[in-house]
Amino acid sequence: MADDDVPSDSSLLVVIVDTNPNQRYIIEDPKMLTNVLDAVVAFSNSHLMQKASNELAVIGCHFHKSEYLYPSPGKPLDVRQIDGQYELFTLVEKTIKMRLVNLIKSQPQEEKPGESLLAGALALGLCFIARSRRSAIPGLRTSSRILVVTGSADTAAQYINYMNVFFTAQKEQVLIDVCSVDKHLSLLQQGCDITGGLYLKIPSLEGLLQYLLWVFLPEANERSKLVLPGRGRVDYRAACFCHRELLTIGYVCSVCLSVFCKFSPICTTCHTVFKIGGPPIKPKKKKMKV
């Protein structure tokens, strides 16, 4: 993006962890969530370790809501040293674990787990970044990025929300990185492409921390110096607004640019009435009435 090669004074990282219990790797082995969380915590602390001025936020994304795991909205915990770990890192670890337990406990028992609310979590992250930029010192160069760690499958149900978030992030010069633990996520990959972030689907869960440290730890201006995985081919198919199906050919409203798979005389998004009578089947020559 704009100031790519200028070193920044402080870097803000927002990590979004998908904690939805219906992710395949959790269904197969519930203990794996702990491993994934440990890797994410270690990665977050490594980010804080880079520079004293770096900042961190961690958001837990569930199927009923998303919540800040760190920093804790209320008073921070009073941590004391129990081992040689730097106190700040201990605070991060304890806060994240405690709030995650609360988040999971708060899930409604009677509902069947739905999709992870990733678009909402991304929006939360963008709000956090905007807020911290407002309260930052003028003249301080900050770079911000969001990392999504998820094992969910691709879903077009949140297509519009995703697109809104991606374009906002692009405008705000926030990178969106995605680390997919299980499936290929074409929609999120589009987001990475739009904002200039990195998309990676990791082959094995055991090496998660190493992948995170190698690929996602460098900041935006450092990425040009290191050799990192390339972009790959991005699937840019749009999803129709009526059924959320990906399509290559469709109908587009000329006013609001919403995409439809079938013709309809009124656009459902902006309620424009299309004066053209039906889809053109055969071009007919109209006789001009004198």
The answer to whether 241 and 260 have CB atoms below 8 angstroms apart is yes
Q: Does 139 engage in binding with another protein (CB under 8 A)?
A: yes
Among 21, 25, 35, 46, binds another protein (CB under 8 A): 46
State the nearest-atom distance from the C-beta of 133 to another protein, in Å. Answer: 13
3-state secondary structure of 183: coil
Q: How many CB atoms neighbour CB 80 within 10 A?
A: 7
Closest CB to another protein among residues 222, 235: 222
Q: Does 10 bind another protein (CB under 8 A)?
A: yes
- Least Å distance, CB 41 to another protein, is 9
**Part in contact with another protein (CB under 8 A); list of ranges 21-29, 79-87, 148-156, 260-268:** 79-87
Looking up tokens 């569930």 gives 62
- Is 12 within 8 Å of 136 (Cβ atoms)? no
The interface with another protein within residues 243-282 (CB under 8 A) comprises: none
Q: Does residue number 140 form part of the binding site for another protein (CB under 8 A)?
A: yes
Query: Mask 141-170, x = binds another protein (CB under 8 A)?
Result: x-----------------------------
Asked whether position 7 contacts another protein by CB under 8 A, the answer is yes
Residues 6+ away with beta carbon under 8 Å from 100 = 19, 37, 60, 69
Q: With respect to another protein, which residue has the nearer C-beta, 38 or 235?
A: 38
Nearer to another protein, 22 or 85 (CB): 85
Q: Under 8 Å CB-to-CB from 143, ≥6 apart: which residues? A: 3, 8, 10, 11, 12, 219, 220, 221
> Which residues touch 10 (CB under 8 Å, ≥6 apart)?
51, 53, 54, 55, 136, 140, 141, 142, 143
The minimum distance between CB 5 and another protein, in angstroms, equals 11
Nearest-CA neighbor of 145 among 189, 191, 176? 176
In the bound state with another protein, the residue whose beta carbon lies nearer, of 227 and 249, is: 227
Q: CB of residue 175 vs another protein: minimum separation in angstroms?
A: 17
Burial grade of 62 (CB within 10 A; 0-12, 13-18, 19 or more): buried
Helix (H, G, I), strand (E, B) or coil at 146: strand
Residue type, 245: E
- From residue 220, how far is each of 3, 5, 200, 228, 267 by CA, in Å? 9, 8, 16, 12, 40
Those residues whose C-beta lies under 8 Å from the C-beta of residue 175, and which sit 6 or more positions away, are 1, 144, 145, 146, 169, 195, 196, 197, 220
The residues in 198-227 that bind another protein, with binding defined as CB under 8 A, are 209-210, 213-214, 217-218, 222, 224-227
Considering beta carbons, is residue 79 or 160 the nearer one to another protein? 79
Among the listed residues 75, 80, 134, 285, the single contact to another protein using CB under 8 A: 80
Stretch that binds another protein, among 81-89, 98-106, 111-119, 242-250 (CB under 8 A): 81-89
Distance in Å, CB of 222 to another protein, minimum: 6
Nearer residue to another protein within complex by CB, 132 or 161: 132
Minimum Å distance from CB 49 to another protein? 6
